[in-house]
Amino acid sequence: MSFDYKKRSAGELEQIADVVLSRYAHRRTGHFIDIEGIIEDCEITILLRRGELNKYCEGYVATNPHYIVLPEAYASYQPRYRSILAEEFCHIILEYDLIGTGGKLPADAQPHALTPQQHKDIESDAEYLKLALLFPKLDFTNQFNDHFQNAPDDAKISRDKHLIYCAEKLEVDFQVWALMVAYRALALELISEAECRRCFSDRLLM
């Protein structure tokens, strides 16, 4: 099935996130965005698959785009599970213009034959949109600044320790794992790329 996709700017993706968050405001409690509830409202089914799927991928949109498939292994750690789930949902939002269709896929929605460049563009945009959905811009910035300013003295010993403290607090606030907190802070220019690597990404290799 032929398909045309135009890569979005950060501003356009933030606007899409705002529309989704506004449309499903009832799925928001404080800082928590109930991404599973939003997916349910869009009549998309989440399938947890047993076995060793996690060795090959974190999740995917099925051939029938009414289904998102995730390894059951990830469901035991909700902060990471919610991040993976949100990204797959964002693939559907972008690829099938879920905003323009009122939040519902046509019953006969078919998979698209993506070119390598289209796949790369949608993947990049879905990663950004996921962060914009799970960490609404103004709310996230305010919480980041609040934790940064009110951190205890022992967390202010170094810039790195200070940032790690903030990320851990934000992980609790938004219930999304700290690495995604760091990526959102980087996208909003609250931390530098070097700080993101040093304090978060590189730590995964330790």
The Cα 58–Cα 123 span in angstroms is 13
- Residues 52, 80, single domain; the answer is yes
Confidence check: pLDDT of 84 > 90: yes
- Residues 105, 40, single domain; the answer is yes
Q: Does any domain span residue 77?
A: yes
- Residues 34, 126, single domain; the answer is yes
Q: Does any domain span residue 4?
A: no
- Please report the pLDDT score of residue 206 as a whole number: 34
Confidence check: pLDDT of 112 > 90: no
Q: Among the three residues 104, 119, 134, which one is the final residue of a domain in this structure? A: 134
Highest mean pLDDT among 2-11, 74-83, 111-120, 170-179: 170-179
- Residues 161, 147, single domain; the answer is yes
- Residues 80, 151, single domain; the answer is no
Confidence check: pLDDT of 61 > 60: yes
The structural domain count of the chain equals 2
For position 73, which CATH number holds? 1.10.10.2910
**Contacts (Cβ under 8 Å, ≥6 apart) of 149:** none
Confidence check: pLDDT of 29 > 60: yes
- Residue among 81, 190, 91, 86 nearest 138 (CA): 190
- Please report the pLDDT score of residue 205 as a whole number: 42
- Please report the pLDDT score of residue 4 as a whole number: 83
The alpha-carbon radius of gyration of the chain (Å, integer) is: 18
Q: Does any domain span residue 1?
A: no
52-56, 103-107, 121-125, 180-184: least confidently modelled range: 52-56
- Residues 123, 162, single domain; the answer is no
Confidence check: pLDDT of 56 > 80: no
Domain hosting 49: range is 10-134
- Residues 14, 86, single domain; the answer is yes
Phi/psi zone of residue 82: left (φ > 0), alpha (ψ -120 to 50 degrees), beta? alpha
Q: Among the three residues 71, 106, 134, which one is the final residue of a domain in this structure? A: 134
CA dihedral sign, ordered 68, 74, 76, 77: negative
What are the tens digits of pLDDT across the range 155-164?
Answer: 999 999 999 9
Global pTM exceeds 0.85: yes
Strands 67-71 and 45-49: parallel
Q: Does any domain span residue 5?
A: no
What are the tens digits of pLDDT across the range 142-177?
Answer: 999 999 999 999 999 999 999 999 999 999 999 999
Confidence check: pLDDT of 91 > 70: yes
